[in-house]
Amino acid sequence: MKIQGNSYRDGLAIEISFSEGIIDSISETQNLLEQDLILGPGFTDIQVNGYGGIDYNEIQSDPMNLAEISRLLYKEGVTTHFPTIITNDPEQISQLILQIVSLRKSDEFSRMSIEGLHIEGPFISPIDGPRGAHPKEFVRAPDWSLVQKWQNESKGLIKMITLSPEWENTVPFIERCIDHGILVSIGHTNATHQQILDAVNAGASLSTHLGNGAHPILARHPNYIWSQLSQDELGASIIADGFHLPAEVIQVFQKVKKENLMLVSDSVSLSGMPAGDYTLHIGGEVTLTPEGKLHLKSNPSILAGSASNIRSGVSFLIKNKLAALTEAWEMASVRPEKLVNPGHRLFKEGSIADLILCRKDENGELEVLKTIKHGREVFSA
């Protein structure tokens, strides 16, 4: 199979041929292609709580209800995503994991798209502000026996844990995670500078949605944002939807984290839904505006999660001149892939054929025309 487009890297007209899910060759083509047709690696979103009205954090009457999420995300160019299970009762977390295992067993599209699970919590800060919307009653100290149980139930699918290193026994816990191939990210934290340094030394390698899941008012210094910015070993994920972080904060994070800054959507179930008022099982009465801001119905200044997806994040960065197309695209593809799946999908010969063809309008908004996953066309506009 073959696909042609202008490379997201340098705009050159290229043809990619692939077979059995692997890229055989990438070569320049003399064919005259429409200039706004861009070909690049598929997007990887390592933080998806839900999408299209469906929630990975809710027990479903039938796990197959969740199958629609992968299909909807293929339409947005997301070829790989990590369902993200947040703080909950440990037994409930087990049930949520088991329904994803069951989904992957019966649905090929979900099996291809879901390459890992992200457990965000329950080992986070109990403090109001850093804890965000995670339910306080289930927040607890890191517990390796629980992670082992969940990892057995998931059949090894847990690839990532977000925790706060403010708990006493965090260092040996992080070391165990790393030994077992689980990436540790710092998030929803009220940790001291020393606790963050200790976590980095133990192997933590990312900050989850840096700048969010934090106190609304913070001491000028020291504080946990400076501490995380100061550590070169820590990459950072951000939510670029125009509501979670002001542009100047994204600009500073880029200067500091450079090629270790990446996008996540952190989408909740209302992502991809029409504007309107909704009731959420966590968060209560909320409003989704036509601009895509999701806030408490009673208070428009309090966000109730992210209603974005990673394609809209890439478009946001381009439209607001916060990143050029190549960089914005890599923040949503190659960079998270390198972190969670080293050497897997690097847009070169011999790597997995996860590709998307997009049209870019004059403002920088990307529209996905075709999505190829493991060499198979899974979406065509």
What burial class does residue 138 get, using C-beta atoms within 10 Å of its C-beta: 0-12 exposed, 13-18 middle, 19+ buried?
Answer: middle
Q: Which single residue is written with the structure tokens 């049930």?
A: 95
The smaller minimum CB distance to Zn ion, of residues 154 and 267, is found at 267
Place of tokens 């027990």: 59
Tell me the DSSP string of 310-349.
HHHHHHHHHHTTSS-HHHHHHHTTHHHHHHHSTTS--SST
Shortest separation between residue 358's beta carbon and Zn ion, angstroms: 28
Shortest Å, Cβ 265 to Zn ion: 12
Exactly one of 45, 55, 266, 354 is catalytic; name it: 266
Provide the terminal-to-terminal Cα distance of the chain, rounded to the nearest Å.
18
Q: Was 381 annotated as part of a binding site?
A: no
Q: Which stretch binds Zn ion (CB under 5 A): 18-26, 206-214, 311-319, 338-346?
A: 206-214
- Specify the residue, 77 or 213, whose C-beta has the smaller distance to Zn ion: 213
Q: Which is nearer to Zn ion, 120 or 337 (CB)?
A: 120
Provide the 3-class DSSP secondary structure of residue 185. Answer: strand
Q: Which is nearer to Zn ion, 14 or 124 (CB)?
A: 124
Output phi, psi for 210, to 5 deg: -55, 135
Please state the length of the chain: 381
* The one segment of 24-32, 213-221, 300-308, 317-325 that binds Zn ion by CB under 5 A: 213-221
User: Which among 10, 20, 44 is positioned nearest to 159, based on CA atoms?
Assistant: 44
304 is in an annotated binding site: yes
Contacts of 53 by beta carbon, 8 Å cutoff, 6+ apart = 269, 270, 272, 273
CA 94 to chain CA centroid, nearest Å: 21
Q: Scan for tokens 């504007």, then name that residue.
A: 275
> At its nearest, how many Å lie between Zn ion and the CB of residue 301?
18
Give the separation between CA 92 and CA 77, rounded to whole angstroms: 31
Binding-site size, Zn ion (CB under 5 A): 1
Closest separation in Å from C-beta 100 to Zn ion:
18
The structure tokens listed for 250 are 């994204």
Is 281 annotated among the ligand-binding residues? no
Among residues 63 and 213, whose Cβ is nearest to Zn ion?
213
Does the active-site annotation cover 55? Answer: no
* DSSP 8-state assignment for residue 7: E
Segment lying near Zn ion (by CB under 5 A), choices 77-85, 163-171, 197-205, 211-219: 211-219
* Residue 118 assigned to a binding site: no
Q: Cβ of residue 9: shortest distance to Zn ion, in angstroms?
A: 32
Query: What's the min distance (Å) between Cβ of 5 and Zn ion?
Result: 34
Q: Which stretch binds Zn ion (CB under 5 A): 194-202, 212-220, 256-264, 313-321?
A: 212-220
Write the interaction track for Zn ion spanning residues 159-198; mark x where CB under 5 A is met and - where it is not: ----------------------------------------
| 45 and 10 Cβ atoms separated by less than 8 Å | no
305 is in an annotated binding site: yes
**Cα dihedral 309/313/316/318 (nearest 10):** -130
Taking the least distance from each CB to Zn ion, the nearer of 209 and 360 is 209
Q: Which among 10-18, 54-62, 209-217, 320-328 is the span making contact with Zn ion, rule CB under 5 A?
A: 209-217
Q: How far apart are CA 183 and CA 203, in angstroms?
A: 8
209 labelled as ligand-binding? yes
Q: Which is nearer to Zn ion, 195 or 306 (CB)?
A: 306
Cα 312 from Cα 244, distance rounded (Å): 14
Instruction: Classify 74 as helix, strand or coil.
Output: helix
Largest CA distance in the chain: 62
Q: Give me the helix-helix angle, 193-202 and 170-179, nearest 10°.
A: 30
Question: Residue 212, annotated ligand binder?
Answer: yes
What residue numbers does the annotated binding site for substrate cover? 133, 212-213, 220, 244, 303-305
What residue numbers does the annotated binding site for Zn(2+) cover? 120, 188, 209
What residue numbers does the annotated binding site cover? 120, 133, 188, 209, 212-213, 220, 244, 303-305
Q: Which residues are catalytic?
A: 266
Per CB under 5 A, residues contacting Zn ion are: 213
